[in-house]
Amino acid sequence: MSDTRMPVQKRSMESKKKILDAGFALFCEKGFYKTNTIAIAKRAGVSTGAVYSYFKDKRQIYIAAFEDYLNGISSQLIIKLESRQPFQLIDFVDSWITFYMDLYADSGGALAQLRMMIVDDEEIRYHFSQLENRYFSNIVEILIKNGIVPNNLLERVYTCCILIDGLRQENSAFSHNGLNFDVFKQQIRESVIGLLNV
């Protein structure tokens, strides 16, 4: 038991952070239902009681942990995409695809888990329903800022997002026998460019 007392608030914040990190890691690894609160507490190095002093219940840990994560990555993606100057559409699309796939690869299943829980649980669905909208809006903004302004831009961006996410799915979840990934990627890339380059 360390003698040096830290400011109460700061220690408290650290415990909360540890719980969120532990919860997030476990939820990604094993999913919501196969993760229990005792395991979260253990991984976080705190007591089970502590978990319930910071969060009303298990679901709130989930929501808070994924909110943190999403805030992190969404800004990350946008920052990376904005930083590539001067703007070239083809370069932008390639970066988008690359960054998006890296993000998923690094997420260790986080985004797949979240998609699942959005289907499964009403409260989680409600909480994250605006999630993708932010992402779309950000992309739309960047495009407008750089003079890419076809009609129905929002819908175009959405279609692009679906295509890019399809590529991601192919890469991670299923193994679709006989599919040539490079050919597929090239098709997606061309479709996206076609949609934005009017």
Q: How far apart (Å, rounded) are the C-alpha atoms in residues 85 and 91?
A: 10
SS3 176: coil
Question: Does residue 179 bind a second copy (CB under 8 A)?
Answer: yes
The dihedral of CA 99, 78, 115, 189: what is its sign? negative
Q: Does 115 bind a second copy (CB under 8 A)?
A: yes
Q: What residues between 123 and 162 interact with DNA by CB under 7 A?
A: none
User: 125 Cβ partners below 8 Å, 6+ apart?
Assistant: 117, 118, 119
- Cα–Cα dist 118/127, whole Å: 9
* Gap between the Cα atoms of 41 and 47, Å rounded: 6
Sites for DNA among residues 70-99 (CB under 7 A): none
**Dihedral angle at the C-alpha atoms of 71, 74, 79, 84, nearest 10 degrees?**
170
Instruction: Give residue 195's Cα distance to chain centre.
Output: 24
| Residues, the chain | 198
Confirm or reject binding of residue 7 to DNA (CB under 7 A).
Answer: yes
The piece of 29-37, 70-78, 113-121, 142-150 that touches DNA (CB under 7 A) is 29-37
Percentage helix, strand, coil for the chain under 3-state DSSP, each rounded to 5: 75, 0, 25
By CB under 8 A, tell whether 45 contacts a second copy. no
Helix axes 8-30, 37-44, angle to 10 degrees: 130
Choose from DNA, a second copy, none: what does 112 bind? Cβ within 5-8 Å by kind. a second copy
Q: Binding partner of residue 12 among a second copy, DNA, none, CB under 5 to 8 Å per kind?
A: DNA
Kindly tell me which residue out of 12, 37, 39, 138 binds a second copy, with binding defined by CB under 8 A. 39
Q: Which does 49 bind (CB under 5 to 8 A by kind): DNA, a second copy, none?
A: DNA
Stretch that binds DNA, among 12-20, 73-81, 130-138, 144-152 (CB under 7 A): 12-20
- Which residues of this protein are in contact with a second copy, per CB under 8 A? 1-2, 31, 33-34, 36, 38-39, 109, 112-113, 115-116, 118-120, 129-130, 132-133, 136, 152, 154-156, 158-159, 162-163, 165-166, 169-170, 173-180, 183-184, 187-188, 191, 194-195
Q: Name the residues that contact DNA, by CB under 7 A.
A: 2, 5, 7-9, 11-12, 14-15, 34-38, 46-53, 56-59
